[in-house]
Homo-oligomer: A and B are copies of this chain.
Amino acid sequence: MKKRIITISRENGSGGRYIGEKLAEALKIPCYDEKLMDLVAKESGFALDFVEEKGERITGSLLFNIASSLTYANNVFTGNGVSLQDEVYFIQSRIIKDLAEKEPCVIVGRCADYVLRDRDDCLNVFIVADEKSKLERVVKYYGVSEKDAPSVLKKKDKARYNHYKYYTDKDWGMASNYDLCLNSGLLGIEGCVKVIQDVLAQG
C-alpha cells in the first residue's frame, strides 16, 4: 500500500518540524503543524497558546485536570471526567483523522502516528539528533540561552514522553513505534528529507 500520510515525531531541537515542512514542499502536499493548532483552536474555542501548550504536554497538576473537568451549576459541581487537556486531545485526534482521510499530507507531532494507527497508508517517522546538534539548534533558532539549553531540551522531551505515554500507553521514541528513525545530526535536514523520499518511493 502506497504511503499517503507521513507523520513526523521528533526530539526537541532535532529539526523534525523543519524536516516535515521541507518534505511537504518537496512532495507538494500540505504540512500540518502550526496549521493543525489553528484548526484545533478554531474548533475547540480554546486560545491558540493553550492548544499549543496542551497538545503535546501533560501538565503536572492532577488538581488542575480534575478541576478542569468539573462544571459548577445550581450550587453543585458536576463532571464527566474529561479534563480540558483531554478535550484538546480528542478534538486534535478527530481533526488529524479527518485530514488523513481528506488528502495526502505531512503531520508533525501530536501523537499522529498513534491516532492514525488503524490506517495502512501512513509512514511513521521519528527524528533524533545528537546532544550537540540539538543544543546548537535551540540556541540558534529558539532564542534559548546556552546555559538554559540542556535543561530546556530535557524538560520538553520529558513532557512529550509523558504526554505520549498518557494517551497511547506506549513509550515515545521507541524505534518499534515507527517505520523509520533518522539522526538529523548525522544526515542533515536535506539528508533526512532525501531518505524519507527514498523510503516513500520504495513503499
* Dominant secondary structure of chain A at its interface with chain B: mixed
Q: Number of A residues whose C-beta is below 8 Å from B?
A: 24
Q: Is the CB of A187 within 8 A of B202?
A: yes
Q: List 18 A-B contacts (CB under 8 A).
A: A11-B176, A123-B186, A126-B175, A128-B178, A171-B174, A173-B175, A173-B176, A178-B183, A179-B187, A180-B181, A180-B183, A187-B199, A187-B202, A187-B203, A191-B202, A194-B202, A195-B195, A195-B199
Please give, as numbers and ranges, the residues of chain B lying within 8 Å of A180 by CB-CB distance: 181-183
Query: Is A198 interfacial (CB-CB < 8 Å)?
Result: yes
Most buried by B among A171, A181, A191: A181
Least CB separation from A129: chain B residue = B176
Supposing A195-B195, A202-B191 touch, asked if A186 and B179 sit within 8 A by C-beta, the answer is yes
Question: Hey, what's the 0/1 contact readout for A146-183 against B, CB within 8 Å counting as 1?
Answer: 00000000000000000000000001011110111111
Taking CB as reference atom, which chain B residue is nearest A202? B191
Q: Is the CB of A128 within 8 A of B176?
A: yes
